Homo-oligomer: A and B are copies of this chain.
């Protein structure tokens, strides 16, 4: 087995142990880690030496001497109810005074916007009271509610703050300086040159990250208040606002950025103004980072981007991403989605995933080896599904290697995983993994948020999200080509490129599409596509918008709609579950609908695959809640399901739904495993049959010609079978 493709953490106190583990795992790169230093001569241990580098923080002297160039953020106070004509709003009431302070300079105050949220109108009668940190609203209408949007000056980098508080560090706060301002613009370039010279042992600069943080705002108690891993409201400054107006010909109002307090979080339908702002920031970040990468290369080092922290503006699926000229992209991996979010990125030479568990004392304490190893295995088999389709170029771990070294079984299991990874990499990269259908995921973001749908804080679980995220997790390891498209793509006639389109999300979100479903062109393009033989898969509240007698605007295609309490008077007779559909063949355990959706009913002629009845019902009309249904529409087909959290069986269900809607039923005995807990991949010269569980599995496996064999798989096994 060839050595390489593995990154490990180390520190100056664990040199010999590192060497042993590096050899065992085949590691060829070492990295530093928060709170530790790399050993001297790290290249004795590995070919590649990564060092964390901060572009816009960490130089305390620069920060201290240039307070006029500190970064900003746009914030909105909570709703304040007027009980008299004058309302005094203390801006910082719900914000953390160690993270930020309001900017009362004239350049910033002119961007303050007070809105009467009861009427929705801008309220212009107010004064700023810097001494008290207030905005005083005058001429208020009693019992109206008001909000104040204002620019805050960042006092502390929020990730540094989080680590500092969590780990009880004692060091100066990291302030963020803004390269949009002239002195800092120059400084960050010079600083990088100097740093490169001062760190000759480092040959990979691990940028953590570039210029602007994703939205991460703390409350007055120093706890997370708002988070949006995709948010741009910390990529803002008076100077940027002025330039934007010159460039785009209109004022970037505070409201466009604070967005009623929703802060344009990624679940919101993106407005034109927000998309303009994103483009404006993205252009600036790209021009700046291009320079930084050039400097890095001049210093004979590789430039690696960490996907996180200050990644705003460096949109990995943006049109200009390749211009950066980066060598590498690294991000943390929690499963198949996060693998594909990295591995599908184009315009960067290699991509690396940092796997779990992190070697921290919260996992690596005495007696926890079993759990640590299980977390490792679970993380790996989830991520592995995606590796089978499009592998990362490297994998790595973070934390304190010395801690992990105390768990020999864990160390051994990692070693096996490293070998398995390299075999997968060599095999899959050398061949072309065969795809059996081409799937489009349709939402308001399209390509820009590929594999990022329904995400809030990176990799964190949210109750309203997991029933949608399961779709993407399932897709990440299915033998189908996946592209993320938006409504402009639909209008540009791109649907014809696909076999099946998926639309999944809650009504009114960017994922479902909201107002886009009032667009005549969108509706007709999708209908035409399906009518002529295309497939359509809806999950949750697809195509949802209350309008013209429907809630699901494509209820005709989907065969289902949602009873929102205004059509109870219409009798619903189609409540009979039909047995024996292609999609559910072989799906034997109860289906997990996750959060589910209530009050879905079938239209006439729709084929109900599953329906639930209230145990209170007293008559057989207008009752029953459809969970899963199919519909024929012209030559095309649709499939609806209320929710699809990730699970091996649900992944199989989705694959069968894709095959059926795509009219490819013949593929259910070609490169196919019957047991839903196992999956097959076909690479032209061989197959991989994988066991996605910690238990032994048997399955009927069909090769590409439909010949069957019974296979038995040990826990986690991949069986490579020559074609």
Contact = CB atoms under 8 A, between A and B. Distances in A.
B524 A565 contact: no
A614 B645 CA distance: 14
Contacts of A566: 262, 265, 267-268, 508-509
Interface residues of A, number: 80
A720 to B, nearest CB: 35
A506 interface: yes
Interface string A96-119: 000000000000000000010111
A81 B143 contact: no
A571 B223 contact: yes
A274 interface: no
A617 B118 contact: no
A89 to B, nearest CB: 15
B567 A621 contact: no
A523 interface: yes
Interface string A455-475: 011001111111000000000
B145 A556 contact: yes
Nearest to A230: B569
A265 B568 contact: yes
A616 interface: yes
A147 interface: yes
A215 interface: yes
Nearest to A553: B118
A261 interface: yes
Nearest to A506: B565
Contact of A569 (B142, B231, B511): B231
Contacts of A219: 571
Contacts of A567: 261-262, 265
Contact of A546 (B508, B547, B598, B619): B508
A365 interface: no
Contacts of A142: 524, 528
Given A143-B527, A267-B566, A527-B81, A548 B617 contact: no
Interface in A548-598: 548-550, 556, 563-571, 573, 595, 598
A565 B224 contact: no
A59 to B, nearest CB: 30
Contacts of A231: 569
Contact of A524 (B143, B461, B563): B143
A537 to B, nearest CB: 19
A549 B260 contact: yes
Interface in A1-48: none
Given A260-B548, A556-B145, A508 B565 contact: yes
Given A520-B118, A556-B79, A568-B456, A623 B463 contact: yes
Nearest to A258: B549
B464 A568 contact: yes
A348 interface: no
A280 interface: no
A224 B621 contact: yes
A546 B215 CA distance: 23
A120 B509 contact: no
Contact of A461 (B528, B550, B619): B619
Q: Which of A456, A464, A634 has the most chain B CB atoms inside 10 A of its CB? A: A464
A521 to B, nearest CB: 10
A683 interface: no
A83 interface: yes
Given A262-B549, A524-B142, A549-B117, A569 B456 contact: yes
Contacts of A506: 564-565
A335 to B, nearest CB: 13
A226 interface: yes
A669 interface: no
A565 B614 contact: no
Contacts of A83: 531, 634
A622 interface: yes
A705 interface: no
**What 5 pairs across the A-B complex have the smallest Cβ distances?**
A260-B549, A506-B565, A143-B524, A143-B527, A265-B569
Given A142-B528, A145-B556, 5 more contacts: A79-B550, A141-B524, A142-B524, A263-B569, A463-B617
Interface of A: 79, 81, 83, 115, 117-120, 141-145, 147, 215, 219, 223-228, 231, 260-263, 265, 267-268, 456-457, 460-466, 505-509, 511, 520, 523-524, 527-528, 531, 546-550, 556, 563-571, 573, 595, 598-599, 614, 616-619, 621-623, 625, 634
15 contacts: A79-B556, A117-B548, A117-B549, A142-B524, A224-B621, A261-B567, A261-B570, A267-B565, A267-B568, A267-B569, A461-B619, A462-B568, A463-B599, A506-B564, A508-B566
